[in-house]
Amino acid sequence: MENRKLVKDIPAEDLIVPVRAQGRLARALDSDIFYSWRTSPVTVVATFVALSLILLAVFAPLIAPYNPFNPASLNLMDGFTPPASTGAFTDNYFLMGADNQGRDVLSTIMYGSRVSLFVGILATLFAMTLGVSLGLIAGYNGGTIDAVIMRVTDIQLSFPAILIALLIFGIARGLIPANQQESMAVWVLILAIGLSNWAQFARTVRGATMVERQKDYVSAARIMGVHPILILLRHVLPNVLGPVLVIGTISLALAIIEEATLSFLGVGVPPTQPSLGTLIRIGQQFLFSGEWWILFFPAVTLIALALSVNLLGDWLRDALNPKLR
Amino acid sequence: MTRQILSLSAMLLSSTLIVSQASAETIRWARASDALTLDPHSQNQGVTHNFAHHVYETLMDRDAEGTLTPRLATSWAIKDGAPDTWVFTLREGVTFHDGAAFTAEDVVFSLDRARSEKSNMRQLHVDVAEVTAVDDYTVEVRMTGPSPLYPNNLTNTFMMDKDWSEANNVVEVQDYAAGEDNFAVRNTNGTGPYILQSREVDVRSVLTVNDNHWAETKPEVTEIIYLPISDAATRVAALLSGEVDVVQDVPVQDIERLSGTDGIKVETGAENRVIYFGYKFGDAPLASSNITDSNPFNHPAVREAMELAIDRDAIKAVVMRGQSFPTGIPNPPFVAGWTPELDAYPAVDLDRAKALLAEAGYPDGFSVTLDTPNNRYVNDEAISQAVVGMLGRIGINVTLASRPVAQHSPLVTANETDFYMLGWGVPTFDSAYVFNDLVHSKEGSYGAYNGGLYSNPALDAMIKSLGTETDLEARAATVAEIWEVVKADRVLLPIHNQVLAYAMNDRITLPVHPENQPLMTSVTFAD
């Protein structure tokens, strides 16, 4: 007890709250989150790896040495050129070698990452939107609606996501006429991966919503007659978003791997528009014949991409969890 | 009591002996795809026939030189005084796996089944008018006219038991394209050297030797474990790890490595099979194209442009690693009617190809979807991918749709594809087989694999005349004439003839079969 000081005993200058930095950027750089990012070397490296892979993919048409989808620029006779050498037939230089179709492996990886990231990001956004909406509805309403939605998520979580994606993919393929299947393949893939990943979002958001629902600010809003949808969107949603961001980041890594798995199994995107998974599928045919570069570089890229996004997710989880700080 | 124990142990001992003996002669046989069905008349397809040849039998066989040899028929001849009738004398003492005797009524039943409406084999029997049993071991086949080459068509027409078929309600052939199923799709009752023990579609089938088979020499292989492994690298890995004994579809890129591996040998040989692309004909616009008011493929200049854009030599050098014979006609050199002149193909000329496209009214090219199998022919998907790139160079923007053969094949037979890859083997060693199925208009028994619905009434008439032409010289002249038109009209876009490679454990010898239908009865063991 004697250690406790009364306010009047504290020197005045200590009572002054340190002035927070001004401006958005300055405030962000001064935040706890940035501090935890700055002090974790693994996270800093992961950020740079993920960002550079994403930038390479996004700007592939501008910076890739060749356009592997432009038949005029490639020649089949360059097929199987080893890394760091010039094609036998054209003057093209292949830093990572050429694949079985004479395409520059480096360029196909840059273009392939575009497909992988596009599918991964859209599928995760789709899963997130679906899962968060259902989670909010279930958590806020409770009762029968909650029971039905949660049983569906339970059932879904008891299957591996890849099986559900294969099932949805199969059904969608059956419904789409044969001559449109290839043009629809990417969208079917997004739908299949999205539908196989929403359950985690729904479950987490539902739990968080049930906690928030009990709080006074929600009761106050309800007493004031605010429409339930507005309460959910304006009051509850911002307060449950933290865990959603964490799951979202980890789901992105999972979605990229899931896309690669489906394409590896040959049910994903067509081989003329390869994603990383398709490139790995093509490359593994040449494992025994010694043309290792066709498999090696796409595989390393996939690992780097998934690992760095995953590490970012881990960091975000720790940074947003006050108990771990 | 002692005696009981003794007899029990004797039983145990003998059963172990049998097991160890059987396992010593088991062969584990891997290839890329499974038989599509076990109904022997439902699919005229090589893999399906290859499997069926172990369980069912045909009236005659063909040896490595292409000569017909007796199988269930011991002799055949044209009937005296009736040039349009063939007489087949059947082997006596042959039984089906269920014990029923093989007689003339089974042959009549099977031939009628094979030429029934739903049968995929019917084009081979298109000239048959009537099949009758003269006595238990003599069958007469009356043709619509003299058909001196008809026995050539019988090497893949399997004999079923009439009573078994009736009892199991499989008198009608399974309609494969319509997704039909029947008892004969999963169950068999043939006269062949092996009996089906178990079957998991696309996974594993087990066959054991038929001890009651009529052949005097018993096969060295007493048990076959058939393992379809669609992924090429997995298939090769299975051989390297000793998980399988024979791999039938060896990827060309692995031939070198496998030949250099201790304990493994590779046998190669030319296959009687041509790989080609087919177009959709007709005035209706293509379903998968951006051109919505006409069908580019219907224009001869477009087909010529496509032929000029395709670099067959590059496909041979890179995709096939030298393991192919590029060709200018959809007809393998094994087949009567093949000539070196027809086999010649034009050199690549992209400028001329672009000019032809512009002349046809498509200066900016057009888009289309190419359907390709990915587990049927040597490097099928890679060939299609290369062709996509080559056509792209003249402005034809091709989307590649790659499917396993089980899903690809019905698209072709149901004419649901605009542009497709297919391979054609010629079991009759005669051009008529190519014309009947690929060139003749799709009507009745003709044109089953005319996936693009090509139709030329003048050719149809000439093709029909081949069936009944008795003057073999005149017939050969008609064949040559038809080939000229087929080549000039570019009915199909041929790429090359395949070279086959089988890789196996080096204590086994399995020679390459020109029709890619190796029989495990021909396997010999070194030890």
Q: For B481-498, what is each residue's pLDDT tens digit?
A: 999 999 999 999 999 999
- pLDDT at residue number A3: 59
Mean pLDDT of A277-293: 88
* Residues on chain B touching A291 (C-beta within 8 angstroms): 253
Confidence category of residue B115, pLDDT binned at 50, 70, 90: very high
Residue of A nearest to B402 (CA): A270
- pLDDT at residue number A273: 79
Q: Is residue A223 part of a domain?
A: yes
* Residues on chain A touching B399 (C-beta within 8 angstroms): 182-183, 270, 272
Q: Is residue A87 part of a domain?
A: no
Q: Which residue is listed with tokens 């490679």?
A: B501
Euclidean distance between the first and the last CA atom of chain B, given in angstroms as a whole number: 42
CA pair distance A92, A102, nearest whole angstrom: 10
Residue ranges making up the domain that contains A149: 42-56+103-320
Mean pLDDT of B438-450: 93
* Residues on chain B touching A288 (C-beta within 8 angstroms): 233, 236-237, 240, 253-254, 257-258
Chains A, B: CB pairs < 8 Å: 90
pLDDT digits (tens, 9 = 90+) for A60-109: 999 999 888 777 777 888 888 899 988 877 788 899 999 988 889 999 99
Residue of B nearest to A81 (CA): B318
- pLDDT at residue number B344: 95
- pLDDT at residue number B19: 40
Q: Are strands B223-228 and B26-31 parallel, antiparallel or unpaired?
A: parallel
Whether residue B503 contacts residue B265, with contact meaning beta carbons closer than 8 Å, is answered with yes
Of A77, A181, A272, the CB nearest to B318: A77
Residue B23 has pLDDT above 50, yes or no: no
Could you tell me how far CA A8 lies from the centroid of its own chain?
A: 53
The dihedral region occupied by B407, where left means phi > 0, alpha psi between -120 and 50, and beta the remainder, is alpha
Cβ atoms within 10 A of the Cβ of B460, count? 17
Where residue A194 sits, what CATH number does that domain have? 1.10.3720.10
Q: Which residue is listed with tokens 């062709």?
A: B387
Q: Which residues of B touch A (CB under 8 A)?
A: 232-233, 236-237, 240, 251, 253-254, 256-258, 287-288, 311, 314-315, 317-319, 369, 371, 374, 381-382, 385-386, 388-393, 398-402, 411, 416-418
Q: Is residue A170 part of a domain?
A: yes
CA pair distance B136, B103, nearest whole angstrom: 5
Residue A34 has pLDDT above 90, yes or no: no
Instruction: Count structural domains, chain A.
Output: 1
Residue B444 has pLDDT above 90, yes or no: no
DSSP A317: H
Of A76, A182, A290, the CB nearest to B314: A76
The residue with greater pLDDT, A30 or B290, is: B290
Whether residue A299 contacts residue A280, with contact meaning beta carbons closer than 8 Å, is answered with yes
Whether residue B206 contacts residue B508, with contact meaning beta carbons closer than 8 Å, is answered with no
Of A101, A270, A287, the CB nearest to B389: A101
Instruction: Provide the Cα torsion A121, A127, A132, A138; round to 10°.
Output: 180
Q: Taking all residues of chain B, what is their mean pLDDT, rounded to a whole number? A: 91
- pLDDT at residue number A256: 92
pLDDT digits (tens, 9 = 90+) for B280-296: 999 999 998 999 999 99
* Residues on chain A touching B351 (C-beta within 8 angstroms): none
- Rounded to a whole number of angstroms, the distance from the CA of A62 to the nearest CA of chain B is 21
Counting Cα atoms < 13 Å in the Cβ hemisphere of B202 gives 6
Residue B180 has pLDDT above 70, yes or no: yes
Q: B26: which strand partners?
A: B223
Confidence category of residue A19, pLDDT binned at 50, 70, 90: low
What percent of chain A has pLDDT above 70?
A: 92
Question: Which of A74, A285, A291 is best to mutate for the B interface (most B CBs within 10 A)?
Answer: A285
Of A270, A272, A288, the CB nearest to B257: A288
Q: Which secondary-structure segment (H or E) carries B474?
A: helix B472-489
Whether residue B318 contacts residue A80, with contact meaning beta carbons closer than 8 Å, is answered with yes
Of A178, A271, A288, the CB nearest to B402: A271
CA pair distance A198, A203, nearest whole angstrom: 9
CA pair distance A232, A211, nearest whole angstrom: 13
Q: Is residue A68 part of a domain?
A: no
A116-143 as b/e, with b when 16 or more CB fall inside 10 Å?
bbbbbbbbbbbbbebbbbbbbbbbbeee
- pLDDT at residue number A13: 66
- pLDDT at residue number A101: 87
* Residues on chain A touching B232 (C-beta within 8 angstroms): 285
Whether residue B481 contacts residue B462, with contact meaning beta carbons closer than 8 Å, is answered with yes
Residue of A nearest to B314 (CA): A77
Structure token pair of residue B70: 């007796």
Beta carbons within 8 Å of A294's beta carbon, 6+ residues apart: A80, A97, A99, A100, A105, A279, A282, A283, A286
- pLDDT at residue number B7: 52
- Identify which of A279, A291, A267, A265 has the alpha carbon closest to the alpha carbon of residue A110: A279
Q: Is residue A312 part of a domain?
A: yes
C-alpha R_g of chain A: 25
SS3 call for B34: coil
- Rounded to a whole number of angstroms, the distance from the CA of B179 to the nearest CA of chain A is 13
- Rounded to a whole number of angstroms, the distance from the CA of B254 to the nearest CA of chain A is 5
- pLDDT at residue number B330: 94
- pLDDT at residue number A35: 86
- Identify which of B253, B251, B235 has the alpha carbon closest to the alpha carbon of residue B243: B235
Residue A288 has pLDDT above 90, yes or no: no
DSSP B494: E
Residue of A nearest to B396 (CA): A71
Q: Taking all residues of chain A, what is their mean pLDDT, rounded to a whole number? A: 87
B10-29 as b/e, with b when 16 or more CB fall inside 10 Å?
eeeeeeeeeeeeeeeeebbb
Burial of B282 (0-12, 13-18, 19+ CB in 10 A): middle
- pLDDT at residue number A125: 96
Q: Which residues of A touch B (CB under 8 A)?
A: 70-72, 74-77, 79-80, 100-102, 177-183, 266, 270-272, 284-291
CB–CB contact B319 A75 (8 Å): no
- pLDDT at residue number A324: 57
Residue B12 has pLDDT above 90, yes or no: no
Question: Which of B250, B318, B354, B370 is best to mutate for the A interface (most A CBs within 10 A)?
Answer: B318
CA pair distance B139, B125, nearest whole angstrom: 15
Q: Are strands B396-403 and B366-373 parallel, antiparallel or unpaired?
A: parallel
- pLDDT at residue number A162: 86
Q: Which long-range contacts (CB under 8 A, 24 or more apart) does B458-464 make?
A: B458/B485, B459/B435, B459/B485, B459/B486, B463/B432, B463/B435, B463/B436, B463/B439, B464/B440
pLDDT digits (tens, 9 = 90+) for B321-376: 999 999 999 999 989 999 999 999 999 999 999 999 999 999 999 999 999 998 88
Of A71, A182, A271, the CB nearest to B393: A71
CB–CB contact B399 A183 (8 Å): yes
Question: Which of B33, B311, B385, B397 is best to mutate for the A interface (most A CBs within 10 A)?
Answer: B385
CB–CB contact A76 B318 (8 Å): yes
CB–CB contact A178 B401 (8 Å): yes
Q: Is residue A37 part of a domain?
A: no
C-alpha R_g of chain B: 24
Q: Is residue A239 part of a domain?
A: yes
Structure token pair of residue B134: 């003269």
CA pair distance A36, A315, nearest whole angstrom: 8
Of A100, A180, A284, the CB nearest to B233: A284
CB–CB contact A179 B382 (8 Å): no
- Rounded to a whole number of angstroms, the distance from the CA of A174 to the nearest CA of chain B is 11
Cβ atoms within 10 A of the Cβ of B359, count? 14
* Residues on chain B touching A299 (C-beta within 8 angstroms): none
* Residues on chain A touching B315 (C-beta within 8 angstroms): 76
- pLDDT at residue number B14: 46
CB–CB contact B416 A183 (8 Å): no
- pLDDT at residue number A7: 64
Q: Which residue is listed with tokens 């007796």?
A: B70
- pLDDT at residue number B477: 95
- Rounded to a whole number of angstroms, the distance from the CA of A68 to the nearest CA of chain B is 10
CA pair distance B251, B498, nearest whole angstrom: 12
pLDDT digits (tens, 9 = 90+) for B228-241: 998 888 899 999 99
Supply the ipTM of this predicted assembly.
0.72
Question: Which of B252, B253, B354, B379 is best to mutate for the A interface (most A CBs within 10 A)?
Answer: B253
- Rounded to a whole number of angstroms, the distance from the CA of A234 to the nearest CA of chain B is 46
Residue of A nearest to B411 (CA): A178
Confidence category of residue B527, pLDDT binned at 50, 70, 90: low
CA pair distance B263, B508, nearest whole angstrom: 10
* Residues on chain B touching A100 (C-beta within 8 angstroms): 318-319, 382
Confidence category of residue A21, pLDDT binned at 50, 70, 90: low
CB–CB contact A288 B237 (8 Å): yes
Whether residue B346 contacts residue B307, with contact meaning beta carbons closer than 8 Å, is answered with yes
- Rounded to a whole number of angstroms, the distance from the CA of B110 to the nearest CA of chain A is 35
* Residues on chain B touching A286 (C-beta within 8 angstroms): 253
Q: Dmax of chain B from CA atoms? A: 96
Confidence category of residue B16, pLDDT binned at 50, 70, 90: very low
CB–CB contact B385 A272 (8 Å): yes
Q: Is residue A81 part of a domain?
A: no
pLDDT digits (tens, 9 = 90+) for B70-107: 999 999 999 999 999 999 999 999 999 999 999 999 99
- Rounded to a whole number of angstroms, the distance from the CA of A121 to the nearest CA of chain B is 24
Confidence category of residue A12, pLDDT binned at 50, 70, 90: low
- pLDDT at residue number B494: 97
What percent of chain A has pLDDT above 90?
A: 48
Ranges of H-type helices in A158-292: 161-175, 181-195, 198-213, 216-223, 228-230, 237-264, 276-283
Residue B22 has pLDDT above 90, yes or no: no
- pLDDT at residue number B455: 95
CB–CB contact B257 A181 (8 Å): no
